[in-house]
Amino acid sequence: MSKARDNILARLRARGVEKAPVELDRTPASPDWNREERIDRFCKAMRSVRTEVHPVSAADWPEKLAALAKEKQLRNLLYAPAGPLAEKIEATWRAHAGLPELVTREVDVDGWKEELFFDIDAAVTSTRSAIAEVGAMILWPTPEEPRTFSLVPPVHIAVVEANQLHNTFADAIAAEDWTAGMPTNALLISGPSKSADIEQTLAYGVHGPVELIVLLIE
Amino acid sequence: MSLAKHYPDKPDKVYFFGTCLIDLLYPEAGLAGMQLIKREGVQVIFPQDQTCCGQPAWNSGYRDETRAVVLNQIRTFPQDYPIVVPSGSCAGMLRHHYPEVFKGLPEAGLVEDFSQRVFELTEFLVNVLKIELQDLGEPTKVALHTACSARREMGVADEHEALLRQLGNVQLVEQARKAECCGFGGTFAVKHPDISAAMVADKAQAISDTGAEQLVSGDCGCLMNITGYMQHQDVGPQNHHIRGQHIASFLWERTNAAES
Amino acid sequence: MQQKAEFDQRVQKALNNPQLRRNFRIAMDGLMEKRSNAFPDKVALEALRVTGANIRANALAKQLELLEQLEANCTRNGIQVHWAETIEQANRIVLDIMQRHNASRMIKGKSMVSEEMELNHFLEAQGNSCIESDLGEYIIQLDHETPSHIIAPAIHKSKQEIARLFKEKHPDIPYSEDIETMTRSARKVLRSKFYEAEVGLSGVNFAVAETGTLCLVENEGNGRMCTTVPPVHIAVTGIEKVVEKLADVPPLLKLLTGSAAGQHISTYFNMISSPRKPGERDGPTEVHLVLLDNQRSRIYADEELFDSLRCIRCGACMNHCPVYTRIGGHAYGSLIPGPIGSVIEPQKFGLENFGVLPTASTLCGACGEVCPVKIPLPKLLHRLRYEQVRSDHTGATIGQGSQRSAKEALIWKLWSWAHANPAVYRGGTRLAGLFRGIIPNKIGPWTRVRTAPKIAPKSLHQLAREEGFDNE
């Protein structure tokens, strides 16, 4: 190991033990919310950061997706053919004419980076779960649904299941046992990308998606 | 710093620590504080050997020089009586910083015992004497500036307000950003006069904007800063100077039959 | 006393710039209000601050063991860990990584540690390009400035000033003072920079020892871009950013986003635990973590100043500081301005260079009151005032005693003598009372904007005697 490392650690060690570690109670104190309250809080919090939230059912969300794609005049929609949403999306797109082109590239993003950066209008992804308290979706991107899907295209459409709503972030970590193994990248997303760097005035659509649309399956 | 504080029952005797600023510039405020306590039937002792709490040296980083001054105060208040201080800043020094001044030194225990007995005047009037005031003065509009040390170190902002609210003819008005520092900060005002001036300018303006006729504060440092600025710069409604008073003088003047 | 003269000059310049004063006042008022709204329940906030303080204090107490654990877990996850004692070493590590990849184009997310390293300057001197992608950082990079605030680096600029800057640097983009339009222009310019970059650099908000995870808080998506799109990601962080458990993250995140900008959560919370794994279709194939000391372990050695390392860089102390609000970030002349900067910078870069900063505070306590991890900022400022004038040469702080002047020391010695001897003191006040008429009414800088206070004819000591108050 490096000399720098040894020197730094030696200085920390030399300090002795005057400061005892603090006993921490890490049991998350979770609010007592029922399913409706969780849904309500999630929707309110997400909307407060300019997310479009559409309540849908497990059966009709692909129809809603198609309608939104049309309404927003998307030219194309990126999706994951091997992902959990693929089957229903494909079926819906087969059933309707005049929908935006469904795009997929089942190769490493490096191979079609230019297209992804400059030609794709929107992407649809699933989510792992979500947080009611602060209004955030949890994504653990997979080989099927890579990280850039929820980042690069100007519109991100995410499917969230109300049954997967946790009260708090701490609850999600505990209930899903994150310490057992973290993914390459875990993400919390709350709203479209934004900045307040100019005069503390919020402006949406900086580097990530300009629009975030949530289809909430209740 | 609103730690729950233990207040004693009403004592027979108290010490009064007048502070050097009051001693030299605002003695009537100190006297008013003593008279307010005396009127409640408590004997007030003013040890003539008291000088300064030591804060100027302490805040300038001169710790050894502070210790000699602190020890003089501790010697001067030997009995187990409460020590009442008409200043949040000096009270904060006596109560919270004295133990730091002697941390790890043989006198630490002695100093700790002393500090435990220290009370800021308004908290003493409200929480120990449970004073009830009767306003004999004319209707007036008053702005209160609570010193940062009174607010944050001593946690007595509520006590300041509670006393003023007991006065039926006093309308307490609230200036914008009332919890913001006035820019005094002891030696800060001398070391960084331009920043201090910018701060006091804003504070004076905010107070003037309320239309208050009087400015009251529990700390003479702030008072000297704000009123000194107002007088120099002619800040005030139609350039009528807002009268500045220590809260003790103000309370005494409005509730003492002989004066009103 | 060179530093004081330079500081005074910068302060003058700031105070005499009404536009700058307005920009800061409005921004700080807004930030204070947002924070207050984010924590409506003051009791819950206090409990959360205690939790946050304990988490950080615990992590620091166990720092040695946690850094070793972090290194082991990151390494196991495939993140390459580097250690740097100095900023020179850290810069060298970054350059070596770039050279190994024949890379010359770096895109950067917001990182105060990279500012501390002056990384842009260093890499540019070696012929590389470093583009800041955070909107605020991008703006100040265009204008060759440093951040004036740790969370909102371009807070000192009005939208008109930024619009003129954009016009000057990008003549092809139509002039606009509309904030959303300017933001979109930056998006367009920077998108191709993300696309082209060979290396992405980021800071770290929390490094979790338990899982070897690097956490990043951001709103713009540029942080995700920098850590996802280029083939190599380098994260630079101070060694103090390590926390013990994943469960420690949620309270700190809530404290950070709420204190910084009144957000319940940031738009993105990005947790990185490894480079791209086989089968994954994007993400960097290499992730490097550079752990920078740069005097932190020295600060660590002092039982009291140790607490300055708890900082989670939210900026609330500067937002609430009446001095910062008046003079703005650049006047401090340090990388980190405001109360926490006045505590950390002198410790990192020496009291002989930054000793003036701890004196530029009224010790009003507003900073300590809002600090999400309860750093006793006034107490630490106070401590550094002592360190710079103490003469015993036993402390660990760099530049200890450097600001001691014989004249000032003598004044305090005399002052102490007068106030430790009641007879001397009483004699002095009596003289002052007697000669009050001839004491000049101009007393230095005080009377430049204030009338001089009038010495009372009789001291309180005298009045107390006359009114019959007992002496004992």
pLDDT, tens digit (0-9, with 9 covering 90-100), for A61-108? 999 999 999 999 999 999 999 999 999 999 999 999 999 999 998 788
Task: Look at residue B236 in the predicted model and tell me its pLDDT.
Answer: 63
Name subunits touching A (3+ CB pairs < 8 A).
Answer: C
| pLDDT over 60 at C168, yes or no | yes
Task: Look at residue A110 in the predicted model and tell me its pLDDT.
Answer: 87
Q: Per-residue pLDDT tens for C344-353?
A: 999 999 999 9
Within 13 A of C341's CA, how many CA atoms are on the CB side?
A: 29
C-alpha dist (Å) from residue C141 to B147, B179, C108: 41, 36, 11
CB C269 to CB A146 under 8 A? no
Q: C160, C280, C298: best mutation site toward chain A, by most A Cβ within 10 Å? A: C280
Q: Going by beta carbons, is chain C in contact with chain B, meaning 3 or more pairs sit under 8 Å apart?
A: yes
Overall average pLDDT of the C263-274 stretch: 98
Cα B190 to Cα A91: distance, rounded to the nearest angstrom: 77
CB C364 to CB B181 under 8 A? yes
Overall average pLDDT of the C376-390 stretch: 97
Q: Is residue A5 in some structural domain?
A: no
Q: Is residue B134 in some structural domain?
A: no
C-alpha dist (Å) from residue C176 to C179, C180, C214: 8, 9, 38
| pLDDT over 60 at A39, yes or no | yes
Quick count: other Cβ atoms within 10 Å of Cβ C405?
Answer: 10
Q: C419, C436, C443, C447: best mutation site toward chain B, by most B Cβ within 10 Å? A: C419
C412 contacts B55 by C-beta, under 8 angstroms: no
Handedness of CA B212, B214, B220, B221 (dihedral sign): positive
Residues in Cβ contact with C459 at an 8 Å cutoff, skipping those fewer than 6 apart: B23, B24, B27, C426, C429, C430, C433
**Count of residues for chain B?**
260
Q: What is the CATH number of the domain that holds B231?
A: 3.40.50.11810
Return the CA Rg of chain B: 18
Q: Which amino acid is at C147?
A: P
Quick count: other Cβ atoms within 10 Å of Cβ C455?
Answer: 17
- Range from C32-41, C61-70, C225-234, C448-457 carrying the lowest mean pLDDT: C448-457
| Joined tokens for residue A11 | 């200085």
Class (C level, CATH) for C1-38+303-404:
mainly alpha
Q: C121 or A21: which carries more pLDDT confidence?
A: C121
Task: Look at residue A19 in the predicted model and tell me its pLDDT.
Answer: 75
Of B63, B97, B128, the last residue of a domain is B128
Task: Look at residue C1 in the predicted model and tell me its pLDDT.
Answer: 65
Task: Look at residue B2 in the predicted model and tell me its pLDDT.
Answer: 43
Q: Per-residue pLDDT tens for C99-115?
A: 999 999 999 999 999 99
Cβ-based contacts of C446 with chain B (< 8 Å): 189-190, 193, 228
Of B69, B98, B128, the last residue of a domain is B128
Q: Does C449 touch chain B (CB under 8 A)?
A: yes
Residues B17 and B112 in one domain: yes
Cα C38 to Cα B209: distance, rounded to the nearest angstrom: 29
Closest CA to C375 of C458, C305, C285: C305
pLDDT band, residue C435 (cuts 50/70/90): confident
Per the prediction, chain C carries an average pLDDT of: 95
Give residues 185 to 224 of B whose Cβ lies within 8 Å of C. Answer: 185-186, 188-201, 224
Helix, coil or strand: residue C193: helix
Residue A123's beta-bridge partner residues? Answer: A78, A156
Task: Look at residue C444 in the predicted model and tell me its pLDDT.
Answer: 80
Q: Does B75 touch chain C (CB under 8 A)?
A: no
Q: Could you give the ipTM of this predicted complex?
A: 0.97
Task: Look at residue B235 in the predicted model and tell me its pLDDT.
Answer: 72
Q: Going by beta carbons, is chain A in contact with chain C, meaning 3 or more pairs sit under 8 Å apart?
A: yes
Quick count: other Cβ atoms within 10 Å of Cβ B87?
Answer: 35
Cα A83 to Cα A144: distance, rounded to the nearest angstrom: 5
Overall average pLDDT of the A22-26 stretch: 88
Q: Is residue A98 in some structural domain?
A: yes
Overall average pLDDT of the A36-47 stretch: 98
Phi first, then psi: give them for residue B214, nearest 5 degrees.
Answer: -135, 150
Q: Is residue B3 in some structural domain?
A: no
Number of folded domains that form chain B: 2
Q: Compute the nearest-CA separation of C220 from chain B (Å).
A: 32
Cα B152 to Cα C365: distance, rounded to the nearest angstrom: 7
Give residues 309 to 368 of C whose Cβ lies within 8 Å of B. Answer: 322-323, 326-327, 359-366, 368
| pLDDT over 60 at A17, yes or no | no
- Range from B178-187, C41-50, C370-379, C386-395 carrying the lowest mean pLDDT: C386-395
Number of folded domains that form chain A: 1
Give residues 69 to 88 of A whose Cβ lies within 8 Å of C. Answer: none
Q: Does C458 touch chain B (CB under 8 A)?
A: yes
CB B61 to CB C386 under 8 A? yes
Q: Is residue B41 in some structural domain?
A: yes
Q: What is the 3-state secondary structure (H, E, C) of chain B?
A: CCCCCCCCCCCCEEEECCCHHHHHCCHHHHHHHHHHHHHCCCEEECCCCCCCCCHHHHHCCCHHHHHHHHHHHHHHCCCCCCEEECCHHHHHHHHHHHHHHCCCCCCHHHHHHHHHCEEEHHHHHHHHCCCCCCCCCCCEEEEEECCHHHHHHCCCHHHHHHHHHCCCCEEEECCCCCCCCCCCCCCHHHHCHHHHHHHHHHHHHHHHHCCCCEEEECCHHHHHHHHHHHHHHCCCHHHCCCEEEEHHHHHHHHHCCCCC
CB A148 to CB C62 under 8 A? no
Task: Look at residue B1 in the predicted model and tell me its pLDDT.
Answer: 42
Quick count: other Cβ atoms within 10 Å of Cβ C280?
Answer: 21
- Range from B59-73, C228-242, C443-457 carrying the lowest mean pLDDT: C443-457
Which chain C residue has the Cα nearest residue A169?
C250
Cα C105 to Cα C6: distance, rounded to the nearest angstrom: 36
Cα C108 to Cα C116: distance, rounded to the nearest angstrom: 14
| Joined tokens for residue B12 | 């027979």
Classify each residue of C114-130 as buried b or exposed e, where b means 16 or more C-beta atoms within 10 Å of its C-beta.
Answer: bbbbebbebbeeeebeb
Q: Is residue B8 in some structural domain?
A: no
| pLDDT over 90 at A15, yes or no | no
Q: Per-residue pLDDT tens for C317-364?
A: 999 999 999 999 999 999 999 999 999 999 999 999 999 999 999 999
Per the prediction, chain A carries an average pLDDT of: 95
Domain that holds residue A193: 33-217
A146 contacts A202 by C-beta, under 8 angstroms: no
Cβ-based contacts of B64 with chain C (< 8 Å): 416
- What is the side-by-side order of every strand in the sheet holding C79-84? C79-84, C286-292, C232-238, C199-202, C105-108, C129-132
Task: Look at residue B153 in the predicted model and tell me its pLDDT.
Answer: 96
Q: Is residue A23 in some structural domain?
A: no
Residues in Cβ contact with A94 at an 8 Å cutoff, skipping those fewer than 6 apart: none
Cα C130 to Cα C110: distance, rounded to the nearest angstrom: 12
Helix, coil or strand: residue A54: strand
Q: Compute the nearest-CA separation of C125 from chain B (Å).
A: 38
CB B195 to CB C464 under 8 A? no
Q: Is A139 exposed, middle or buried (0-12, 13-18, 19+ CB in 10 A)?
A: buried
Task: Look at residue C114 in the predicted model and tell me its pLDDT.
Answer: 97
Give residues 175 to 204 of A whose Cβ lies within 8 Å of C. Answer: 178-179, 182-201, 203-204
Q: What is the CATH number of the domain that holds A41?
A: 3.40.50.10420
CATH 3.40.1280.10 fits C60-294, yes or no: no
Which chain C residue has the Cα nearest residue B233?
C449
| pLDDT over 50 at C296, yes or no | yes
Handedness of CA C373, C261, C363, C342 (dihedral sign): positive
Domain that holds residue B172: 140-255
Quick count: other Cβ atoms within 10 Å of Cβ C37?
Answer: 10
Cα C470 to Cα B144: distance, rounded to the nearest angstrom: 32
Q: Is residue B6 in some structural domain?
A: no
Cβ contacts below 8 Å, chain B against chain C, sum to 206
| Joined tokens for residue C314 | 């939210």
pLDDT band, residue C438 (cuts 50/70/90): confident
| Joined tokens for residue A78 | 């990126």
Task: Look at residue B4 in the predicted model and tell me its pLDDT.
Answer: 59
Residue C272's beta-bridge partner residues? Answer: A185, C214
Q: Compute the nearest-CA separation of C440 from chain B (Å).
A: 15
Cα B119 to Cα B82: distance, rounded to the nearest angstrom: 7
Cα B54 to Cα B93: distance, rounded to the nearest angstrom: 8
Of B128, B157, B179, the last residue of a domain is B128
Domain positions in chain C? 1-38+303-404, 60-294, 422-466
Q: Compute the nearest-CA separation of C238 from chain B (Å).
A: 29
C225's enclosing H/E stretch is: helix C222-228
Q: What is the pLDDT along chain B (260 residues), one digit of tens a residue?
A: 444 578 999 999 999 999 999 999 999 999 999 999 999 999 999 999 999 999 999 999 999 999 999 999 999 999 999 999 999 999 999 999 999 999 999 999 999 999 999 999 999 999 999 999 999 999 999 999 999 999 999 999 999 999 999 999 999 999 999 999 999 999 999 999 999 999 999 999 999 999 999 999 999 999 999 999 999 988 765 556 789 999 999 999 999 977 54
Quick count: other Cβ atoms within 10 Å of Cβ B41?
Answer: 9
Task: Look at residue C393 in the predicted model and tell me its pLDDT.
Answer: 78
